[in-house]
Structure 1
Amino acid sequence: MANRFRNSHICVAERIRTGSFVRAFRNPFAILLAFTLLFSCASASAAEDKETDQNGSKLTLPSYVMDGMVLQQNKITTLNGSTAKSMSGQTISVTLRGGKNQYNASSRISKNGKFSVQLPKIKGSLTQYIMKFMVADTMVKTVNDVYVGNLFIASGQSNMEINYNDYFKSDSLFKTSTSLHYTRNDIPRSINDKYVHFLSPNKILDTKNYPLRDFEKKSWLTAAGDDVNYLGYIPQYFAQQLRKQYPNIPIGFIQTAWGGTAISHHIKGGDIYKSRVAPLQGLGVAGVLWYQGEDDSGSMDLALRYDISFATLVNDYRNLFNDATLPFLYVQLARYDGYGYIYDTIVRNAQLGILSNPVVASHKNLGMTVSIDTDKGTPKAIHPLGKEIVAQRMANQWIAMNEHKAVPSGPLPKEAHLDTNDKSTAIITFQEGTAVKLQAKRPNYTTSATIDNIANATNTPLSGFQVADGDGSMHNAIATITGSTLRIHSDEVKRVAQIQYLWQSNPSCLSIVYNSSNLPMSPFTLNVNQKTYSH
């Protein structure tokens, strides 16, 4: 009803502006109707603002409980809140109604006025729901346009956060974000989908509630019109892929990324975790999208700790959302040919290692997206192009997890052994299923690159391999594909002890290893088992 009053108010204001209202003065009834609408609008707005104070309930809910919110399908959602202490012992009930469906939940209010209501598992659909809260049989809050679909957390630093309005809109922002290594014409086009809703956080710390920007304090934003320009490009294109696969399921994102931050800020106890992640406890979510590590590659100390820090973070997020195998999809650092982040090889290797790191409680539903080939020839930019390619790879992984299929992955080295007949040669074997149809390809480092033309077959010898013997000195090596294994050889060493692949911030990728999924092998360093390998 309040929305209808607002629309009438706008209509009357427009008539005043155009002069039609002046002509209406000839009709006394029209004058009375116009002023009735104006005062009714004001009254309705005031009533809406006071809705949560009816019956003295003083209902307080998490900041994200508002119009347009997305609930996770097929998972229990717990809503924690509080009321006036005078309401203790009363029942708070929640009704979710849409189409022919209605779902109910209730809970007793404790002595200190707090409560916890568990919404039941609901199947996702494009149905719009109305969610009503009642305390002691009095309706105290209404939330409109609620959807049930797949809800994701988009976290990390600037390469996850990057969106048009905060990074590209003004000329000064564009220059800072790109260092002019690409043009405005190269920026990905935003999606337009009214069934993708999201939150974009305010940069405020020391808060116990998810911090909202002023323009989104009444409703979630929609990935349409100008609002979509506050949604990161990776979430946008991730959503686009999922909406193609599941057109009847809405998508929600709660963004928690913060540019220029080390991983320590995002771990339980860190300030970003406390203000942006911890307040989300109780929500069911479909997964976490993570792109971070640039800041930690700026110092040797942080880079060497990244493996344990990242493993801890994965456990923290899964524990918070009460899901031991919650899909956790992350991006390995891209190429970078710039100043400052000189230990990114160590961070990349830690990101690869998380797939088998024993600190991670469960390795199920972990997915790493290799981005060494996705930058479209912009390695000098700390915010490289190719976010849509990265997002599509991540989406393909989540879809596979959701459908209980093999998760797409590039070749994952398992171990290396010395060749039986030649100690200057080592044989690399791979994790099962990841080395099907190994082949040499050259990445498409042009702005026209897409996920479909990301690389082309080449006869150029494989590049980027180095080996060392016991003294640790690295020497260039020749790599040959032999079925589902790699044969690595160098005349410069007598006995191979270590192998490195693409072990540079901005490695030369004239010819690199791909598999049948058209996914590249991750950069790595690998110790060679001194036992021989027969083939």
Structure 2
Amino acid sequence: MKTASIALALTVTLSPAISSAELTVASPFTDHAVLQRDMAVPVWGTADAGNTITVEFAGQKKSSIATDDGTWQIELDAMPGSATPKTLQISDTKSQLTFDDVVIGEVWICSGQSNMQMGGDSIPEIKALVPKAMNIRRFTVKQSVAFEEQDSCSGEWMEQHPASAVAFAFAYFLQDAADVPVGIIQTSWGSSSLEGWTPRDMTERLPHFKEIMTTFDRDEENRKRITNLLNGPKPWSRKDDIFLRRQPNLLYNAMMHPLAPYACRGIAWYQGESNSGSLEGMLQYEATLKGWIERYREEWGRDDLHFLIVMLPGFGKTAKGGPEGGPESPIAHSWAWMRESQLKTLELPHTSVANTIDLGHLTNIHPKDKLPVGERLALLAARDTLGHEIEAQGPELNRVLRSGDHLIVHFDHAQGLKTIDGKSPTAFWIADQSARWVKADATLKGQSVVLRSSEVPAPLYVRYAFAGKPKVNLVNGANLPALPFRTDRFEP
């Protein structure tokens, strides 16, 4: 390791207030790093207060003075993408840090829980991409927790594709679309909740999170166990590992805060399973995720930090206490409610949701169909962040018109609307004011679908693919599946 090892050697028990006599730079700056193209690139670290720090890269030379608390930050001007290796040099009056083989391209943070962490070695479609992959690099954040926000994390850039199946597939197709190096910062941990990745100050905005953190702070035995594990032998047992990753706030402190404000295009987020144990949790997720996105944008100082949300795929399990009816039921307390919360993030600017309603497994919460997840993320990124004029999503509800005994559902993104099996569209349910849902007879008509049923002579509402594991077949000409929706506002 080079002199940058100073920055990586800091442990999770270190206080975030650092004043060091030695020059350090933030953890994401190592050999083989990928810097974000076409936007300002912050470079930051610590040094003696009052010291002049100089950063040199790609013909730029900029200086700043370390503040009284020993921190410094310099912003490089926006640069075009380039796969040509360059040297990043950082120096003060006493020392110099040098990082080789630094390139410029598209940088994304990939985060979430187990389905983002899940590797691709057992997935033939993912393994088949490896020999063809090029200009992809990864930085994997070591899994850990901390009581306080940390200034550093363990990890280094490597000229290797991400171990994550979803992150690798995303990077592969994005690199093909962008034709520049792609850097993936992987920071994920199975079983983690959204609250685990949430800054503590969000207690001021989210009442339920305030209750969670109040309970956490009062549990002295729990906090003592965490402290003992952090200071004790490694690796942790599986039981202790699961215990740590399920704590609120602590993952953010150790695994996300040290990355800000590293320049990146955005964050790809595949999480939600751990928040789907109850209907209350799934309904709460909308406000939590929206607030979380806005808070992260504050952390990065970027209103345009893009968020790619992976919709939870098909899965048959339902939350306890709700109506029964099986994996195709439109009224069960299934993941349909979580998907609705995830789709509400589209009300915020610079957000995209990758539709996975046609994917997943009835009983396996870790499905292997990860290739289309990564491919759809890349399509959205190409359209929404690279400006490519492509079809990147499936049919989306535009409006529903009532005409006598039937409903006509009109879609956007419906050019070439069809079914993948040539049969009538499935997974449509209709109801009147009684809220008794009946499977609809569905017929394609241009870019719309006509719904009727002899059991509902005057239909008012539609639910499409609003179930845990619906059987869907409706796609557009790009073979992208229609997004699930409901037009009613009945209480679940």
Contact 1:51 1:140 in 2 (8 A): no
Q: C-alpha separation between the residues in 2 aligned to 1:352 and 1:406?
A: 21
Q: C-alpha separation between the residues in 2 aligned to 1:142 and 1:189?
A: 36
What is the match of residue 164 of structure 2? 232
**Cα distance per residue 1:437-488 (max 9 Å; x no partner):** 221223xxxxxxxxxxxxxxx1x22211111211211111112222222222
**Cα distance per residue 1:313-350 (max 9 Å; x no partner):** 22233333333233322221111135769530101122
How far off is 1:413 after superposition?
0.7
Quick one: which of 181, 187, 198 aligns to 1:267? 198
What is the match of residue 312 of structure 2? 333
Distance 1:125 1:473, change over 3 A: same
| Unmatched runs of 5 consecutive residues or more in structure 2 | 9-19, 201-248, 321-332
> Which one has more relative contact order, counting CA pairs under 8 Å at least 6 apart?
2
Q: C-alpha separation between the residues in 2 aligned to 1:235 and 1:61?
A: 26
What is the match of residue 171 of structure 1? none
Contact 1:335 1:505 in 2 (8 A): yes
How far off is 1:506 after superposition?
1.5
Q: C-alpha separation between the residues in 2 aligned to 1:201 and 1:325?
A: 24
Distance 1:468 1:246, change over 3 A: closer
Contact 2:116 2:164 in 1 (8 A): yes
Letter in 1 for 2:359: T
TM-score normalised over the length of structure 1:
0.71
Please, which moves more after superposition, 278-287 or 317-326? 317-326
What is the match of residue 30 of structure 1? none
What is the match of residue 149 of structure 1? 105
Contact 2:391 2:478 in 1 (8 A): no
Matched, 1:383 2:346: no
Letter in 2 for 1:191: V
SS in 2 for 1:298: coil
| Unmatched runs of 5 consecutive residues or more in structure 1 | 3-44, 169-182, 443-457, 529-535
How far off is 1:208 after superposition?
0.3
TM-score normalised over the length of structure 2:
0.77
Matched, 1:202 2:139: no
**Cα distance per residue 1:138-184 (max 9 Å; x no partner):** 442112221211110101211111125xxx6xxxxxxxxxxxxxx77
Quick one: which of 178, 181, 204 aligns to 1:250? 181
Contact 2:420 2:479 in 1 (8 A): no
What is the match of residue 35 of structure 1? none
**Cα distance per residue 1:78-123 (max 9 Å; x no partner):** 1222113xxx333110112xxxx42211101222322111122121
Q: C-alpha separation between the residues in 1 aligned to 2:125 and 2:362?
A: 14
Distance 1:92 1:496, change over 3 A: same
Matched, 1:396 2:335: no
How far off is 1:391 after superposition?
0.8
Q: C-alpha separation between the residues in 1 aligned to 2:375 and 2:6?
A: 44
Letter in 2 for 1:155: S
Contact 1:205 1:272 in 2 (8 A): yes
Matched, 1:60 2:17: no
What is the match of residue 10 of structure 1? none
Q: C-alpha separation between the residues in 1 aligned to 2:172 and 2:123?
A: 22
Q: C-alpha separation between the residues in 2 aligned to 1:49 and 1:351?
A: 39
Letter in 2 for 1:385: K
Q: C-alpha separation between the residues in 2 aligned to 1:489 and 1:441?
A: 21
Matched, 1:355 2:346: yes
Matched, 1:440 2:428: no
SS in 2 for 1:67: coil
Larger radius of gyration between Structure 1 and Structure 2: 1
Q: C-alpha separation between the residues in 2 aligned to 1:200 and 1:60?
A: 20
Q: C-alpha separation between the residues in 2 aligned to 1:489 and 1:306?
A: 33
What is the match of residue 211 of structure 1? 153
Distance 1:303 1:106, change over 3 A: same
Quick one: which of 323, 335, 342 aligns to 1:344? 335
Quick one: which of 127, 152, 157 aligns to 1:220? 157
Contact 1:416 1:527 in 2 (8 A): no
How far off is 1:231 after superposition?
2.1
What is the match of residue 73 of structure 1? 37
Contact 1:51 1:141 in 2 (8 A): no
How far off is 1:75 after superposition?
1.3
What is the match of residue 12 of structure 1? none
Percent identity of paired positions between Structure 1 and Structure 2:
24
Distance 1:523 1:299, change over 3 A: same
Letter in 1 for 2:158: L
Q: C-alpha separation between the residues in 2 aligned to 1:112 and 1:330?
A: 37
Q: C-alpha separation between the residues in 2 aligned to 1:51 and 1:384?
A: 38
What is the match of residue 16 of structure 1? none
- Alignment: residue pair count: 415
**Cα distance per residue 1:33-62 (max 9 Å; x no partner):** xxxxxxxxxxxx8x897899xxx9411322
